[in-house]
Structure 1
Amino acid sequence: MGRRLLFLCHRIPFPPDKGDKIRAWHMLEHLAKSWEVELGCLVDDPADLDHAATLRATCAAVEAHTTGNRAQAAGRALLRARPGLPLTLGWFHAPRLRDWVARGLAAGRYDAVFAYSSAMAPYVMGARTPGAPPRRVLDLVDVDSEKWLAYAAGARGPMRQVWAREARTLLAFERRAVAAFDRSILVSRQERQRFVELAPEAAPRLDWVDNGVDLARFDATRRHPNPYAGGPPALVFTGTMDYRPNIEAVSWFAREVMPALQTQRVAPVFHIVGANPTEAVRALARLPGVYVSGSVADTRPYIAHATAAVAPLRIARGIQNKVLEAMALGVPVIASPEAFEGVRALPGRDLLVAEGVAETVHAVMAVVGGAHPGLGAAGRAAVARGHDWAVTLRRLDPLLGPGTAARMDAGLAEATA
């Protein structure tokens, strides 16, 4: 039997159709080439269980447990609330998965453990193992506590205190989790640096693995049917549309930017493409020039035939897959500074970065007017250089393999120089 790895994930990593699942799937697929992987995961959408066969073809074992709907998860989080602990831990608590993990660790079945997201760290922390414990790596992905801090800054009334408490307690837990694991990684060098600023003691145990993009799937030369059927220049935003940062981004763009764009001689239209649009998002379709598609079978045609992809996120952590995917398809991207962070690209050459209404309108109309004819091709070249999964995931291998410590110490010396 080869080396066996326990891979824990807070959401079933297939299909890779949204941010956290995209990163998890590519990491899992990569590690399965050199490890016998046992996957333990949670499932928040029972329909995803239809894809379990794909995971079983990749993994030596799959243990998947449903978490129920949002109301059930929220109730579980409140029931398990304890002083000083974030509600996140209760939200992702599954007793049967916990017991399965504990049995495997107690039996000494694993040579290494990879926990994807801080929510999965408790399944490993404090677990009993015979002899020396397996090497343990935690992917924080991003500094999630900072997201809750941003939520608190924009909230009013009791929710301001709820989000502030979650930010405070989750950061404290993230620090404990990093101390309990052999190594921890984040999604970009910038995100690692932010965590070091918040938790200086963690610096020697931290590294990063950049997000990538599937260049074969998001191929700029592949033809797709045009979903827009002609008409005005199309601007597109893609993402899961019940996720607060996405809701806030499209609401701002539709209500603040689109009125200014509608006064232009060549007025573009705005397409919001993504699953689970909330009532607030659906209501945006009543505004002039705004369209809400809801879930689509494939987002690529909507991106490929757009004049530009916009990513006006105000709250963003890590590297945005929507930005990488549009760039890979050779489509001009206009991103907020928050959405640009971590992307290995040069603003003005590979994409446009705009902040505020006036800058965003100017950037959109520049693209619509043909002022940046090489932007799409330059964007594709940039992500091919800096965000090919085949390249970014090379940083993952030494974390779990023999001789990891020496190689990682050398890498960290370079990263902190």
Structure 2
Amino acid sequence: MTARVGNSMAHSILMVVDQLPFPPRNGVTLPTFNYAEGLMKSSRLSLVLLVDEASSVDRAALAENEAIFGEIAVVRVRRKNKLRRVVDELLGRDMFNQGWECIDASAVSAEATADVLLVSPYSAAAKWLAADTYRLDRFDCRIAAVSDCTAAEYFYRCTQDFGGLKLRLKAWLDRIRASRVAVAEQRTLANFDHILMQTKVDQQLMKSLVGNGVAAQVAIVPNGVRSEFFEVRRSEISRKAVFVAELSGEYASVADWLVRTVWPLVLEKSSIAELLIVGKGASAELREAIRCVGRAEHIEFVEDLRTVYEGAAVVVCPVFKGYGLINKALEAMASGVPVVGGAAAFNGIEGFVDRVHGFVCRPRNTEDFALAISELISNTAKAEQIGSSGRLLIKDQFLWTSTVKRIEALMDKQKCVSGE
């Protein structure tokens, strides 16, 4: 395993991930790519990729990443059987969907040295501990970049769900499971010196759901926004509302609500409005609903979201989960596009004011969303004003260079402690 060497040798970092960082397109790869890209400029960085045995490694994608970060070691893991995973969760040893065991860690040399272990996201931390390749005390500094609290994800899942009775029942069962998930989360994260989270809300949730000990190790390190988004120049004549999401997961029911319920009401208020939905995984039923609703289009993938934001009048961000930092909202605001969303869409943005920097709508309130969307599409001056205010608000708060500096400061601090 080789590593790309930066200008200084201040730290040697073993960075463990379970998704290839490049291209940075989702809530996992955005931070891992930018952490790695930034840290390799000042430190010696080695990447380890943890792969589920049920999945094959995309050799072309691996080669693309190795061209950027140097040789990447691949460690294969597999899920424990279902009964063992159930028992582990009930006993607080592991959570059901994070029950792993290692198949072969020989790609990572036991003699390889690094003074910093950086693992991201939480799922990679669970897999790495299961691999048990290194004794953790070999590292001077151990960092888990988890972004948000996993127990909170289970506890608040019922607030995000728009599905039928089956999905609502599952969401409430997850709330019951949250207490056991919290115990497993505490056991995993107790192995790390620093836990990187996105917002103060996430830290408070970690404190209330997981415990004071883990919360005390939290450092608030929010994601950044790529500088190119701040250079986007929007079309002044756009009438297009944009929704960007992975459509096979938690946002599938949200997209269905937006298309079938909100959008017809928007068209009643503003006949010039257009809807663009961007995302993979749409069901046949959702694709048919988009086709039939009128003045709506679906695109599975775009290479560069800036081209979408250039032609957007408003970005719709119906997020109601109450935790986490929403990358798509940040990127839209950085592009100067006004964002309409639940209050959670603006989590972690200090100084945010409703109707100054974006539009806050009540959760699942069709009328609120339809009014806000139609108003911004019809009133271009107001849309421009809110878009500009939103861009200015986040410009200094969310820079990847600042994020990397915060991580470097944590490593330096821990190095001093270890040296003592």
CA distance in 1, matches of 2:187, 2:401: 31
Instruction: Specify the code of the residue in structure 1 equivalent to 2:358.
Output: L
- Helix, strand or coil at the partner of 1:139: strand
Q: 1:176 to 1:359 in 2, by over 3 A?
A: same
Q: 1:127 to 1:377 in 2, by over 3 A?
A: same
- Helix, strand or coil at the partner of 2:183: helix
CA contact (8 A) 1:77 1:89 kept: no
Q: Aligned residue for 2:191?
A: 180
Match of 1:88 among 77, 84, 97: 97
Instruction: Specify the code of the residue in structure 1 equivalent to 2:195.
Output: S
Match of 2:356 among 334, 337, 349: 349
- Helix, strand or coil at the partner of 1:391: helix
- Helix, strand or coil at the partner of 2:269: coil
CA distance in 2, matches of 1:77, 1:367: 51
Structure 1 position 14 matched with structure 2 position 22:
yes
Instruction: Specify the code of the residue in structure 2 equivalent to 1:110.
Output: A
Q: Aligned residue for 2:113?
A: 109
CA distance in 2, matches of 1:280, 1:405: 58
CA contact (8 A) 1:108 1:129 kept: no
CA contact (8 A) 1:184 1:206 kept: yes
Instruction: Specify the code of the residue in structure 2 equivalent to 1:361.
Output: A
Match of 2:282 among 250, 271, 277: 277
Structure 1 position 192 matched with structure 2 position 203:
yes
CA distance in 2, matches of 1:393, 1:113: 15
CA distance in 2, matches of 1:290, 1:132: 55
CA distance in 2, matches of 1:149, 1:272: 28
Q: Deviations over 1:47-90 (max 9, x none)?
A: 854233343234343023678xxxxx8x7663651412312223
CA contact (8 A) 2:239 2:272 kept: yes
Q: Aligned residue for 2:369?
A: 360
Match of 2:63 among 47, 53, 72: 53
Q: Aligned residue for 2:32?
A: 24
User: How far apart are residue 306 of structure 1 and its match?
Assistant: 1.1
Q: 1:14 to 1:162 in 2, by over 3 A?
A: farther
> Which moves more between the two structures, 157-166 or 384-393?
157-166
Q: Aligned residue for 1:401?
A: 412
- Helix, strand or coil at the partner of 2:294: coil
- Helix, strand or coil at the partner of 1:28: helix
Match of 1:168 among 156, 179, 196: 179
Instruction: Specify the code of the residue in structure 2 equivalent to 1:320.
Output: I
CA contact (8 A) 1:316 1:338 kept: yes
Q: 1:281 to 1:124 in 2, by over 3 A?
A: same
Cα RMSD after superposing both structures: 3.2
CA distance in 2, matches of 1:207, 1:100: 31
CA contact (8 A) 2:148 2:197 kept: yes
User: How far apart are residue 265 of structure 1 and its match?
Assistant: 4.3
Q: 1:131 to 1:42 in 2, by over 3 A?
A: closer
Instruction: Specify the code of the residue in structure 2 equivalent to 1:238.
Output: V
- Helix, strand or coil at the partner of 1:15: coil
Q: 1:48 to 1:378 in 2, by over 3 A?
A: farther
> Which moves more between the two structures, 176-185 or 116-125?
116-125
Q: 1:301 to 1:189 in 2, by over 3 A?
A: same
CA contact (8 A) 1:218 1:300 kept: no
CA distance in 1, matches of 2:199, 2:63: 32
Instruction: Specify the code of the residue in structure 2 equivalent to 1:40.
Output: V
CA distance in 2, matches of 1:260, 1:374: 25
Q: Aligned residue for 2:73?
A: 63
> Which moves more between the two structures, 252-261 or 7-16?
252-261
CA contact (8 A) 2:154 2:175 kept: yes
Q: Aligned residue for 1:327?
A: 333
Q: 1:262 to 1:400 in 2, by over 3 A?
A: same
Instruction: Output the TM-score relative to the length of structure 1.
Output: 0.82
Q: Aligned residue for 1:413?
A: none
Structure 1 position 251 matched with structure 2 position 256:
yes
Q: Deviations over 1:184-241 (max 9, x none)?
A: 11112221122112212223211110111102255224x89x9xxx8x8210011222
User: How far apart are residue 343 of structure 1 and its match?
Assistant: 2.6
Q: Deviations over 1:304-361 (max 9, x none)?
A: 2011111012336411111111111111111211211113452322222222222222
Q: 1:139 to 1:166 in 2, by over 3 A?
A: farther
Q: Aligned residue for 2:298?
A: 292
Q: 1:271 to 1:390 in 2, by over 3 A?
A: same
CA distance in 2, matches of 1:262, 1:374: 23
CA contact (8 A) 2:115 2:138 kept: no
CA contact (8 A) 2:141 2:414 kept: no
- Count of matched residue pairs: 389
- Helix, strand or coil at the partner of 1:136: strand
CA contact (8 A) 1:5 1:37 kept: yes
CA contact (8 A) 2:16 2:118 kept: yes
Q: Aligned residue for 2:221?
A: 209
- Structure 2 unaligned runs (5+)? none
